[in-house]
Amino acid sequence: MKFNRENNYRKQEIEGMQKINSEVLKEVKHTVDGSKNEIVYIDMDKIRPNSRNQYEMTEIEEMAGMIKLAGGILQNLIVKPMDEEGYYVLTTGERRWRGARLLRDRNEYPAIFDNKVPCVIQDPVEIELPLNDEDKEDFAILVTNQYRVKTDAILYMEMLQWKRIISNLKKAGVEYLPKEFGSDQEIKLKGKRTRELVAEQMNLSTGQVARFEKIEKHGSEELISKLMRNELNLPEAEELTKLDKEEQKEILQQSDPVSLKEEVQQKLKEKEKRVGIKPMEISKRIEGIMVNLEETVYIREKEYQKLERILIDLKKIMSCLLYTSPSPRD
């Protein structure tokens, strides 16, 4: 059931990196004493990855190739100061940072940058929102990764984070977010359902968000773990939530199920409640309906077609009796 993503992620993610103005390459600054939003160049060995960043670090080789082709990093990294003086933690741009390090290790990083990468120093704690420090950091990471092409695992993770952040903002009485918080316009919170707001931030339909919420509510620990490792996709995980958590675990533990959907349907069929019925009872009820009718009955064509469908369905049900155990089962 290994779930493999299409390679077109590579092209679209790399294109996202190129959105920034290439004028940044014309003026190289070697200072780390920049003011807010000023581009500063920081030694890449004094930058550390962010433990809260759960995005996949894939296609580093391709990213390195794009950096080399462009002559440097086109989109600034965003970092925050660490407690250790002179060191920084990434908020966004880890793939670019890793790509630059890969080039440096091969002696292919542009010498003009002197082992440095363009950064903007912003501490998420300074975000003027009534959130705790962890929520502020998650918020900063989310709004700076909106252009990514994402797996179902990443979308599930983002859904959980946006739900938590939006719920906390609503509880704090925040009615809207100013447009500088990752959007081209104000984001109205008051009067909107959390699911609707999450969908807007993730560029998904409310129906898609509801599907992820179904997994959050009904998915077993094993199911969610496999989704987060990209071993299940959304339709597969959603299919499994039709079963209780123990049954989900049972199916997921099977080494090589023939078909996930078939396995789920088989489990559901086994759970169907059965009612005992005798052929004589069916016969008596039909006779009771027919007893007051004359030999020939005239009805409208639509009613006749409806009767035909009923008779066909009845025949199917009666056929099933031939293959059903006569004893009741739960």
The tens digit of pLDDT for each residue in 83-134 reads: 778 899 998 888 899 999 999 999 999 999 999 999 999 888 788 888 888 8
Question: Where in the sequence is the domain holding 26, given as residue range(s)?
Answer: 9-122
Please indicate, yes or no, whether residues 137 and 186 belong to a single structural domain of this protein: yes
Residue 2 in any domain: the answer is: no
Higher pLDDT, 329 or 294: 294
Please indicate, yes or no, whether residues 267 and 283 belong to a single structural domain of this protein: no
Higher pLDDT, 68 or 1: 68
Contacts of 170 (CB under 8 A, 6+ apart): 189, 194
pLDDT over 70, % of the chain: 79
Measured on CA atoms in the order 238, 244, 247, 253, is the torsion positive or negative?
Answer: positive
Please indicate, yes or no, whether residues 216 and 175 belong to a single structural domain of this protein: yes
Please indicate, yes or no, whether residues 35 and 106 belong to a single structural domain of this protein: yes
Higher pLDDT, 180 or 77: 77
The token pair that represents 135 in the structure block:
């929520």
Residue 127 in any domain: the answer is: no
Residue 211 in any domain: the answer is: yes
Mean pLDDT of the chain: 80
Read off the pTM. Answer: 0.61
Residue 200 in any domain: the answer is: yes
Report angle CA 96, 26, 71 to the nearest 5 degrees: 40
Q: Report the pLDDT value the prediction gives residue 11, as an integer from 0 to 100.
A: 46
pLDDT over 90, % of the chain: 35
End-to-end CA distance of the chain: 30
Q: Examine the pLDDT at 276 and tell me if it is beyond 90.
A: no
CATH number at residue 244: 1.10.10.2830
Residue 94 in any domain: the answer is: yes
- Cβ atoms of 235 and 256 within 8 Å: the answer is no
Q: Report the pLDDT value the prediction gives residue 274, as an integer from 0 to 100.
A: 65
Task: Give the domain-ending residue among 96, 122, 148.
Answer: 122
Q: Return left, alpha or beta for 297; rule: phi > 0 is left, psi -120 to 50 is alpha, else beta.
A: beta
- Which string of DSSP letters, residue by residue, matches 268-315? HHHH-------HHHHHHHHHHHHTT--SS----HHHHHHHHHHHHHHH
Exposure b/e, 138-165, CB count within 10 A at least 16 = b: bbbbbbbbeebebbbbbbbbbbebbbbb
Q: What letter represents residue 282's amino acid?
A: I
> Confidence class of residue 170 from pLDDT cuts 50, 70 and 90?
very high
Q: Examine the pLDDT at 160 and tell me if it is beyond 80.
A: yes
pLDDT, tens digit, 9 for 90 and up, residues 213-243:
999 999 999 999 999 888 899 999 999 999 9
Q: Count the domains in the chain.
A: 3
Please indicate, yes or no, whether residues 88 and 173 belong to a single structural domain of this protein: no
Q: Report the pLDDT value the prediction gives residue 168, as an integer from 0 to 100.
A: 93
Mean pLDDT of 260-287: 76
How far is it, in rounded angstroms, from Cα 242 to Cα 272? 13
